[in-house]
Chain A
Amino acid sequence: MTRSRSAYSVPGRQGKFDTHIIVVWVDNETGVLARVVGLFSGRGYNIESLAVAEIDSKLNISRITIVTTGTPQVIEQIKLQLKKLVPVHKVADFRREDKNVIFKEMALFKVVGNNFKKEKALKACKKYNPVILDKTKKSYVIQITALRREIMLLHQLKLNPYLLDQLTILGVCFPKHL
């Protein structure tokens, strides 16, 4: 082992990473998203996906849903640090595997081709309640809701031949009892 020449300690053992969904209820005010996101970047936490919207216009509350990964210690820190922010009202934490949480992501695909190809693409999406949002002679914009891995599978394998390189994914999480 080479000797350390640093004034800082060497990194210790690293634990196993878990995926968690952190839901944060915040005052809907200027800069609040920057505070939350800045906390993550400033302390070196991961953000895999992020969704934010106002949920109560009367009380002026927004909900930020963040999918993150980290060791149990890091996840605990994320929650405690979030709770310290002044505009944060409440923080909830869910495991992705949790049965009591509806965890879905919405994806929009644009597929291009003749009628045959378009219908074939639509059929591939059938399992995930596809909705056609936009129709032209040559293309469809299809909306589906599914799990991330299902979306990625669809995107990479089944839809690939027809796909214009456009894909949007928006993650949402909804606790059943809360």
Chain B
Amino acid sequence: MSKLYSGAEIVFKCLEDQGVEFVFGYPGGAVLPIYDELKNFSFLKHILVRHEQGAGHAAEGYARSSGKPGVLIVTSGPGATNAVTALTDAYMDSVPLVCISGQVPTHLIGTDAFQECDTTGITRPCTKHNWLVKDINELEKTIHKAFEVATTGRPGPVLVDIPKDVQFQKTSYTKFVKQKKLNGKVHNQFSQNDIDELIKLMNKASKPIFYTGGGVINSGPKASELLRELVNTTGFPITTTLQGLGSYPGEDSQFLGMLGMHGSYEANNAMHDCDLMINIGARFDDRITGKIDEFSPKSKKVHIDIDPSSINKNVKVDLPIIGDVAEVIASTIKTIKKTKPNFAKSNKQKISKWWEKIQKWRSINSFDFVNSTETIKPQYAVQRLYELTKNKDTYITTEVGQHQMWAAQHYKFDKPNRWMTSGGLGTMGYGLPAAVGVQVAHPKKLVIDIAGEASVLMTMQEMSTAVQYSLPIKIFILNNEYMGMVRQWQELLHDKNYSESYTAALPDFVKLAEAYGCVGIRATRPEELDDKIIEMINTDRPVIFDCLVDKEENCFPMIPSGKPHNQMLLGPNDKKGKKITGKGKTLV
């Protein structure tokens, strides 16, 4: 007779067989049996967070920077509800998470027991799938299935709810052998015909553009390499979404920068005027498309995605190709090489006019800003941060708001998995705990959270986690004392009625850093910025960097609401001045 294991032990056996090394969590009544077993499984390191939302975002940061699923353990009731924001965030941004939650004992379910909530009911709309395990014999199968669902196809969060009595019950455990990545075979629904069709369109196009997204990153580092090869082979311009940054080198000449609401002028205009749009692993999000009816009216649209439900959801496309991005690109490159070895050369002439047009848009230099010698401009701070860290293989996380857009505009990424930001859900407070998770996955690397002072206060307590595990994360706060993006919208669209967007009482971030047991640095003048940033980089402990920036800077360029891509607002530096002037701003 084989050895019997308790439900709690089986949880760890499963994690071991899945190759999990780190778990983020917070103990509580309904998961105590699991925490009781923790000491017996040395393969696993538990990171104790300060709030379950932090556990979720840390697991997201871990997953996005390492390509492995993030795991978190939370207790029943408030533990599970606190994790909901992070689960929803992971669902929107396709991050593989496995959340193990405790539940009240089976016989108490439905009685409004202490710390009971309908966890599977609450998390149903924000997970790919969830399970309530009422039978100990189902536990092993369920957890392994949970990992499979989280990591295959379009990745996402899952939740396994385990009642306390099931954690105590015993059964046998069969060793699980992880199958090779199923992703490709199961999800590839494309044929060689689709690829041929794509190449035919590419041949015909005179104004083509690649529009790539987070799907390229999710498909693995190989996909980014292949994308570079494809872009170089074709000579087409490429723009990426917020989540796609890093899939293509940010300083390459074929790269037009990020597109969308605060994307570059050249990327958005090229999207509007192109005759062939090749969407690779992006989802036509509303921040990207602007007004749908006028979105890229003259183009043939190709959509490569692993998720069939992403096709034709927001924008009708002409050629859908359903499959793993890496494999679709690989087949495309292979076919081009076989059938048209001189593709780039023969194509160069055809798209040269297109490139001329793009260069004209580019010359507007839409990310430009008016620098100052008096105050630190937030864009300047990000630029300096980039210049001083670009040779270090730096990992960047962000919170949500103006600073996030400035980071996306001015920090250039060379490799995938280096940029972690909350795009879909837009969760303020994401960046700090995410940085914790990134640093756990990459203990020797430089990890910086480019933050706003309002966002970072939402999950500031996780500094305590960073200190406990000696995770030298750097919190680079662009402090303008406003919820900057809220203030910007109020300025432009609500007649400067700055309703509740100013934080009249902020903590002293340097003292706060000291209170947490880490290092606080403050920069107030542009000339001292470089030295302070270098000081931050050289500090081998967690740092909170309070960078006092211009309080009223706005994030440009931007596509105003309800407008198509070719009607962008440029910043105050716009020389023609026809798009936006002091008065024009308020008329947006």
Contacts and interface: CB of A to CB of B under 8 A. Distances in A.
A85 B149 CA distance: 10
A81 B309 contact: yes
B316 interface: yes
B493 A5 contact: yes
Interface string B303-315: 0000111011100
Contacts of A12: 291-293
Contacts of A85: 129
A168 interface: no
B308 A31 contact: no
A123 B584 CA distance: 75
Contacts of B494: 5
Interface size class of B (residues with CB under 8 A): 20 to 34
A38 to B, nearest CB: 6
A73 B316 contact: yes
B124 A84 contact: no
Contacts of A8: 286, 561
Given A9-B286, A76-B312, A34 B292 contact: no
Contacts, number: 57
B132 interface: yes
A77 B124 contact: no
B132 A30 contact: yes
B121 interface: yes
Contacts of A7: 489, 561
Given A8-B286, A30-B132, A77-B309, A13 B316 contact: no
B177 to A, nearest CB: 22
A42 interface: yes
A81 B588 CA distance: 37
Contacts of B132: 30-31
A7 B149 CA distance: 34
B290 interface: yes
Interface in B287-334: 289-293, 307-309, 311-313, 316
Nearest to B134: A30
A6 to B, nearest CB: 5
Contacts of A34: 121, 124
A35 interface: yes
A178 interface: no
B325 to A, nearest CB: 18
A9 B313 contact: no
A83 interface: yes
Interface string A1-35: 00111111110110000000000000000110011
B120 interface: yes
Contacts of B125: 38, 42
Contacts of B588: 3
B120 A31 contact: yes
B562 interface: yes
B308 A83 contact: yes
Given A9-B291, A9-B561, A38 B124 contact: yes
B272 interface: no
A6 B293 CA distance: 17
Given A9-B562, A81-B309, A84-B308, 5 more contacts: A4-B562, A10-B291, A73-B316, A77-B313, A86-B149
Interface of B: 120-121, 124-125, 128-129, 132, 149, 286, 289-293, 307-309, 311-313, 316, 489, 493-494, 561-562, 588
17 contacts: A3-B588, A5-B494, A6-B562, A8-B286, A8-B561, A9-B291, A9-B562, A10-B291, A10-B561, A13-B293, A31-B124, A35-B124, A38-B125, A84-B307, A84-B309, A86-B128, A86-B129
Closest 10 CB pairs of A and B: A80-B309, A86-B129, A4-B562, A5-B493, A12-B293, A12-B292, A10-B562, A4-B561, A42-B125, A80-B308
